[in-house]
Every structure is written in C-alpha cells, then in structure tokens.
Amino acid sequence: MKNIKMNTKLAVITGVILFGAVMRLIPHWPNFTPIAAIALFGGAHLQKKHLAFIIPLAAMLLSDLILGLHQWMIAVYISFALVVGLGMLLRMKIKAGTVVLASVSASLLFFIITNFAMWAGSPYYTQNIAGLTECYTLALPFLFNGLMGDLFFSIVFFGGFYVAQLRFPVLAKAD
C-alpha cells in the first residue's frame, strides 16, 4: 500500500513539474515563467534528493531543447539547482509565508547569478563595476516579471498541491 501511495504521489508531483516545463513553451511575458516554482516545488516535495534535482532539471532541459540553448545556460542550471536546494530547506516548513519568502529568494538568486554570468561572459558590458551596474540595471524589468511569475506559479503549484492533498489523502505526506 505504501508503494502505491508513494508512486501516486511521485506521479502527481512529476506531473506538476512537467506541466510547469510545458508552460514555458506557450507565449508569455518575458521571464514570467515557472522556472523557480518548478525547482522550489520539486525540492520541497520530492523526498528522494536525487529525484528532487533530476526531475526538475530534466523537465527544464526538455523545454530548453525546444526553446533553444545559449552560452549562459550553465548559470541558469546552477541557479536552478540552488533553488532546488532552497526548496529542500522549505520541505519541513511549507506554509504560505515561507513559500512566498522562498519564491522571492529564488527570484533574486536567479537574477543575481544569471545576470552576473551575462556581464562576465559577454562583450555587451565593460568588465568593471560600471558595466556590472549597467547589466543589473537593464535587467530590472526582467526581475520584476520573473518575480511575478515565480510568485504566481509557486502559489499555483504549492496551493494546488495542498488542496489536492486535502481532497486525496493518498497525496498527503506519510513519509
């Protein structure tokens, strides 16, 4: 019985993550995507650590293969993996406030890492503090959109799964 319960729970969690990856493929505002929400949700709900990283990263990779890859993808995946770790820290304290705080933190982490990589690896900015400041300043609209997307999708994923757990006890934490 426990095996069926875990398989059902794993299937539902994986389905939510794959749904998030598919959401990246439909037209959307720039950076209004479920990237951080996928990572947070996977880290918080996938009990096996290796699956907490593999499933969200694989979903991200599948959607990236369709969307296309770029030279700064390593920074995206590093920040994504760190957000999975943030989700693991969230695991025992999943409440509305902690999910919102983790989502905002994930957005900021992603913004800082990916824009630093853009500054460091591109010819668009001078390699000094002025260039770094320009890079972060020009990216602020993307931070806002990313933050709004991360909050929206975190509420949808975490809130939806919470409601599903109430409706279907097999999904409730019994680990």
Please state, rounded to an integer, the average pLDDT across all residues of the chain: 90
Q: 40 or 26, which is more confident?
A: 40
Q: What is the pLDDT of residues 102-120, one digit of tens each?
A: 999 999 999 999 999 999 9
pTM of the full predicted structure? 0.86
Q: Which CATH architecture has domain 2-171?
A: Orthogonal Bundle (1.10)
In this structure, of 24-33, 58-67, 145-154, the range with the lowest mean pLDDT score is 24-33
Q: What is the pLDDT of residues 32-49, one digit of tens each?
A: 888 889 999 999 999 899
Check pLDDT > 60 for residue 175.
no
Instruction: Label residue 17 by pLDDT band (50, 70, 90).
Output: confident
In this predicted structure, what is the pLDDT of residue 4? 53
Q: Which residues of 79-110 are buried (b: 16+ CB within 10 A; e: fewer)?
A: bbbbbbbbbbebeeebeeeebeebbebbbebb
Q: With beta carbons less than 8 A apart as the criterion, state whether 48 and 87 touch.
A: no
Check pLDDT > 70 for residue 3.
no
